[in-house]
Structure 1
Amino acid sequence: MTGVPEEVAVPSRRNTTFKVIKGAKAGGPTPARRRVVTVLHPADPVERVLERLDQEPVEDPTEAGNLTVVADDEPRRPAGRRPTSAAQADRDTGPETGRRKPAVPGGPHRGRALTALLVVLLAAALAGAGVYGHRWYVDRATDQAHREAIAAARQAAVNFVSVSAASVDRDLQRVTAGATGDFKDEFTRGQAQVRTAVVENKVQSQGSVLRAGLLSGDRRHAVVLVAVDATVKNVKAPDGRPSHYRIQLDLVRDRDSGEWLVSKLQFVG
Structure 2
Amino acid sequence: MPSTTDEDLDDQKTDTAAEDTATSDGDATEGPADAASEPGSAADGENDDAEPATPGRRRRRFLVGALAALAVAGFATSGYLGWQLWHNRQVEQAAAQAQTAAVAYAQVLTSIDSNNVDENFAQVLDGSTGEFKDMYTKSSTQLRQLLIDNEASARGVVLESAVQSASENQVVVLLFVDQSVQNASVPDPRIDRSRIKMTMDYVDGRWRASQVELP
Instruction: Verify: 1:237 aligned to 2:186, yes or no.
Output: yes
Alpha-carbon distance between aligned partners in 1 of 2:162 and 2:116, rounded to the nearest angstrom = 30
Instruction: Verify: 1:264 aligned to 2:211, yes or no.
Output: yes
CA gap 1:237/1:123 in 2 versus in 1, 3 angstroms: same
Q: What is the aligned length?
A: 163
Instruction: Verify: 1:219 aligned to 2:168, yes or no.
Output: yes
Alpha-carbon distance between aligned partners in 2 of 1:108 and 1:182, rounded to the nearest angstrom = 70
Equivalent position of 2:43 in the other structure: none
Amino acid at match of 2:169: R
* 1:110 shift after superposition: 7.7
Amino acid at match of 1:137: W
Normalised by the size of structure 2, how large is the TM-score? 0.65
List runs of 5+ in structure 2 lacking aligned partners. 1-39, 41-54
Equivalent position of 2:153 in the other structure: 204
Equivalent position of 1:84 in the other structure: none
* 1:265 shift after superposition: 1.4
Instruction: Verify: 1:140 aligned to 2:84, yes or no.
Output: no
Amino acid at match of 1:266: E
Alpha-carbon distance between aligned partners in 1 of 2:74 and 2:85, rounded to the nearest angstrom = 16
Identify, as 1 or 2, the structure richer in helix: 2
SS at match of 1:126: helix
Equivalent position of 2:177 in the other structure: 228
Measured on the aligned residues, the alpha-carbon RMSD in Å equals 2.5
Alpha-carbon distance between aligned partners in 2 of 1:124 and 1:266, rounded to the nearest angstrom = 47
Equivalent position of 1:42 in the other structure: none
List runs of 5+ in structure 1 lacking aligned partners. 1-86, 88-105
* 1:162 shift after superposition: 0.6
Alignment of 1:5-44 (within 5 A): none
Equivalent position of 2:135 in the other structure: 186
Amino acid at match of 2:213: Q
SS at match of 1:238: coil
SS at match of 1:159: helix
- Over the matched positions of the two proteins, sequence identity in percent amounts to 31
**Which fold has the larger relative contact order, with Cα–Cα distance below 8 Å and residues 6 or more apart in sequence?**
2
Normalised by the size of structure 1, how large is the TM-score? 0.53
* 1:215 shift after superposition: 2.5
